[in-house]
Amino acid sequence: MISTKGRYAIRVMIDLAEHRGSGYTPLKDVAERQSISKKYLEIIVRDLVGGDLISGISGKGGGYRLNRDPEDISVGEILDLTEGSLSAVACLSDGCEPCPRAAECQTLPMWSEYDKLTHDFFNNKKLSELTRN
Amino acid sequence: MISTKGRYAIRVMIDLAEHRGSGYTPLKDVAERQSISKKYLEIIVRDLVGGDLISGISGKGGGYRLNRDPEDISVGEILDLTEGSLSAVACLSDGCEPCPRAAECQTLPMWSEYDKLTHDFFNNKKLSELTRN
DNA sequence: TAATTACCTATTGACATAGTAGGTAATATA
DNA sequence: TATATTACCTACTATGTCAATAGGTAATTA
């Protein structure tokens, strides 16, 4: 289940994509347009900055801006940064300890298959496919 | 993220599938073979009985049994019963109040597409594909 | 009658989610 | 230089879900 954090992150990215060209976009504007608490967005945006998807500058005229074109940003990247993991089961998450039952596990192949399906879907879905203009 | 409940439920179903023919299988045996607390399995099994996937009878010689052949039981059915919902986002879960932003939501089509992908995958995956014998 | 099994209600500790609160640092403009 | 604006930082909290555990009662068979 994708949490609000991941879903809001995508909406922030869409908003920034649709308002790029007009320089930096203040988070206040994004929050108002998207009807999301600015305070909460600060947390989300930090992940996106940390993942080098966007950058921010302070002061008047400041705000956030995409670091790449929307065609070159996948939804998968956004979710990877904001959700802990996109994996459907714990034993396939990054950095989890290897499951002792893995060798004999009868369900692992199915989970792996689904995992690949999921990652392929979101990695192939570009931000540009979600924007209006 | 699929929880232990859903994952254990699938393992119970596999276990029952592999031991059908020998009448009813006591939960105690399943719990031992799968190394899962019997007490916890009771909760899970209740959902499966409620969904008419298995039936149980009390007393000596009792236990649980599949109601259908493994070829006719999908993993999707099992997960629907034990996980609250298979949907990736809250606004697509069964019985959720309709989102007021739905009409203008730019991400909804993507979530719907992913939702279909997920349901198709698990509904087409049959229990018989997971069993050993 | 005793053993075995399903089935029932309630409780709990740990953790994640979805925020809120109150600041400090950086930058532009008047 | 003062002020407004913006990003950026640390901490806190209420609520809910997850993953069980605990302690029974009812049904069935030998």
Residue B133's pLDDT is 78
CB contacts, 8 Å: A110 with chain B: 75, 125, 129-130
Is the pLDDT score of A39 beyond 80?
Answer: yes
Residue B12's pLDDT is 98
Which of A52-61, A82-91, B12-21, B117-126 is predicted least confidently?
A82-91
Looking up residue A62, the CATH number of its domain turns out to be 1.10.10.10
Residue A82's pLDDT is 97
Residue A100's pLDDT is 84
pLDDT tier at A124 (50, 70, 90 boundaries)? very high
A99 touches strand D (CB under 7 A): no
Q: Are the beta carbons of A69 and A16 closer than 8 angstroms?
A: no
Average pLDDT, chain A: 95
Name the strand (E) or helix (H) holding A27: helix A27-34
Rg value, chain A, Cα: 17
Structure-block tokens of residue B110: 């993507």
Angle at B65 between CA B63 and CA B70, to 5 degrees: 155
* Residue span of the structural domain in which B119 resides: 4-129
| Three-state secondary structure string covering chain B | CCCHHHHHHHHHHHHHHHCCCCCCECHHHHHHHHCCCHHHHHHHHHHHHHCCCEEEECCCCCEEEECCCHHHCEHHHHHHHHCCCCCCCHHHCCCCCCCCCCCCCCCHHHHHHHHHHHHHHHHHCEHHHCCCC
Reported as a single tens digit per residue, the pLDDT across B32-50 is: 999 999 999 999 999 999 9
Mean pLDDT on A59-74:
97
Q: Structurally, how many domains does chain A consist of?
A: 1
Q: Are the beta carbons of B89 and B12 closer than 8 angstroms?
A: no
Residue B101's pLDDT is 86
Reported as a single tens digit per residue, the pLDDT across B60-98 is: 999 999 999 999 999 999 999 999 889 999 989 877 777
Task: Tell me the CB-side half-sphere exposure of residue B81, using CA atoms within 13 A.
Answer: 23
Q: Are the beta carbons of B65 and B16 closer than 8 angstroms?
A: yes
Mean pLDDT on B14-20:
97
Q: How far is the CA of A13 from the C1' of D8 (A)?
A: 19
Name the strand (E) or helix (H) holding A55: strand A54-57
Is the pLDDT score of A95 beyond 80?
Answer: no
Q: Are the beta carbons of B64 and B25 closer than 8 angstroms?
A: yes
The beta-carbon neighbor of A2 closest among B88, B106, B117 is B88
The single residue listed with the structure tokens 């994952």 is: B7
Residue B97's pLDDT is 77
Task: Tell me the CB-side half-sphere exposure of residue A85, using CA atoms within 13 A.
Answer: 13
Q: Do residue A132 and residue B11 have CB atoms under 8 angstroms apart?
A: no
Q: Which residue has the higher pLDDT, B133 or A65?
A: A65
pLDDT tier at A96 (50, 70, 90 boundaries)? confident
Q: Looking at the complex, report in whole angstroms how far the Cα of residue B14 sits from the nearest Cα belonging to chain A.
A: 9
Nucleotide closest to B55 measured between CA and C1': C6
